[in-house]
Amino acid sequence: MPVEEGAGRAIGPRVWEVAALVHAVADTLAARFASVAVRGEVSGYTRAASGHCYFTLKDAEGTAALRCAMFRRAASLLDFAPEEGHLVELRGRLAVYEPRGELQFVVESMQRAGAGALYERFLRLKAQLEAEGLFDATRKRTIVRHPACIGVVTSLAAAALHDVLTALQRRAPQVRVIVYPSPVQGAEAPAALAAAIETAGRHGRADTLIVARGGGSLEDLWAFNEALVVRAVAASRIPVIAGIGHETDVSLVDFAADLRAPTPTAAAELAAMPREEALAVLHDLERRARRGVALRLDG
Cβ pair 110, 80 in contact under 8 A: no
pLDDT at residue 271 is higher than 80: yes
- Does residue 76 sit in helix, strand or coil? coil
Strands of 145-289 (E only): list them: 149-154, 176-181, 208-213, 240-244, 259-261
**What's the pLDDT tens digit per position in 174-222?**
999 999 999 999 899 999 999 999 999 999 999 999 999 998 888 889 9
What confidence tens digit (pLDDT) does each residue in 66-124 have?
Answer: 999 999 999 999 988 888 888 899 999 998 888 888 899 999 999 988 667 778 889 99
* CATH code for the structural domain at 121-274: 3.40.50.10550
Distance CA 40, CA 82 (A): 12
Is residue 2 scored above 80 in pLDDT?
no
Can you tell me the distance from the alpha carbon of 40 to that of 45, in angstroms, rounded to the nearest whole number? 13
Boundaries of every domain in the chain = 15-115, 121-274
Cα distances from 200 to residues 99, 108, 186, 207, 277, in angstroms, run: 50, 51, 22, 10, 27
Decide whether 15-115 matches 121-274 in CATH topology.
Answer: no
pLDDT at 19 over 50: yes
DSSP at 156: T
Average pLDDT for 252-271? 96
Question: Quick check: 3 pLDDT over 60?
Answer: no
Q: In which element (H, E) is residue 66 found? A: strand 65-70
Side-chain half-sphere exposure of 75, counting CA atoms within 13 A:
19
- Give the pLDDT band (50/70/90) at residue 292: confident
How far apart CA 63 and CA 67 sit, in angstroms, is 14
- What share of the chain in percent tops pLDDT 70? 91
Mean pLDDT for all residues in the chain: 88
Phi-psi region of 18 (alpha: psi -120 to 50; beta: other; left: phi over 0): alpha
121-141 mean pLDDT: 94
Domain 15-115 has CATH 1.10.286.10: no
* Mean pLDDT of the region 277-297: 70
The confidence score (pLDDT) of residue 1 equals 44
What global pTM score does this model have?
0.64
Q: Which of 88, 94, 37, 98 is nearest to 69 (CA)?
A: 94
Integer Rg of the chain from CA = 28
Number of residues in the chain? 299
